[in-house]
Amino acid sequence: MRRFRWILLLVVALLVAAVAAAFFLVRPGLDDSRDLVDARWTPLRPSLITRYQALDGVETALQAVAADRAITTDLQAGLQRWDELALNGPRHTDPGAEAIAANDLEALARRVRANLVGSARLANDQALKDALAVYDQAVVPPPAVAAYNRAARAYEDERSGFFEGIVAGVLGYDSRPVLILGT
């Protein structure tokens, strides 16, 4: 019985040591990877803010012609969420949430296009077409998007390791999605 206690104590001590080593060895890499993703996000923000201000014009034009459609209210809510997150100045607090909101807005813009193609009423509205053209001209620099996406993929690869996943979950290293732009 005494031997069993010592073995159990040794196993627990080894587990505690392994967990502590994982935290001390894994955390710096996760910090560096997340910081790199966040640093790559910062140069994207000004052009994304401009792009989504143009999308605000699309929402206004859509509101005038199709206020009763779900896409109109969804776009309005998405733009409001973006404003809450991104228009707080250069000291944004959550690049991960901003990236999610940006991806949501891009998906909503694609839905507007699908509605435009599928609806004669929307297809004949010149103000909506003009607003979409302005949105299309608000381009985010592809090299900056590519740099951000590379960093986000590398961070997600690092987060997905066995010990890294445990440490990331315990310490709150949230996901950083890639940015998917599309017109």
Q: So what's the pLDDT on residue 92?
A: 58
Q: So what's the pLDDT on residue 66?
A: 83
183: confidence class by pLDDT, cuts 50, 70, 90: low
> Which position has the higher pLDDT, 31 or 117?
117
Helix, strand, coil abundance in the chain, percent, nearest 5: 80, 0, 20
> Which position has the higher pLDDT, 11 or 107?
107
Whose CA is closest to 41, among 83, 82, 130, 102? 102
Question: What's the CA gap between 182 and 55, in Å, rounded?
Answer: 13
The pLDDT of 10-28, averaged and rounded, is 74
The pLDDT of 101-109, averaged and rounded, is 95
Amino acid at site 78? G
Decide: pTM greater than 0.75: yes
* Domain map (residue ranges) of the chain: 33-171
Contacts of 137 (CB under 8 A, 6+ apart): 54
Whether the pLDDT of residue 162 is over 80: the answer is: no
135 within 8 A of 58, measured Cβ to Cβ:
yes
- Rama region for 172: left / alpha / beta (φ>0; ψ in -120 to 50; rest): left
Q: Which of 76-90, 100-114, 158-172 has the lowest mean pLDDT?
A: 158-172
The pLDDT of 32-49, averaged and rounded, is 90
Whose CA is closest to 108, among 52, 26, 169? 52
Contacts of 159 (CB under 8 A, 6+ apart): 30, 33, 165, 168, 173, 175
**Is residue 111 within a helix (H) or strand (E), and if so which, with residue range?**
helix 95-118
Q: So what's the pLDDT on residue 22?
A: 67
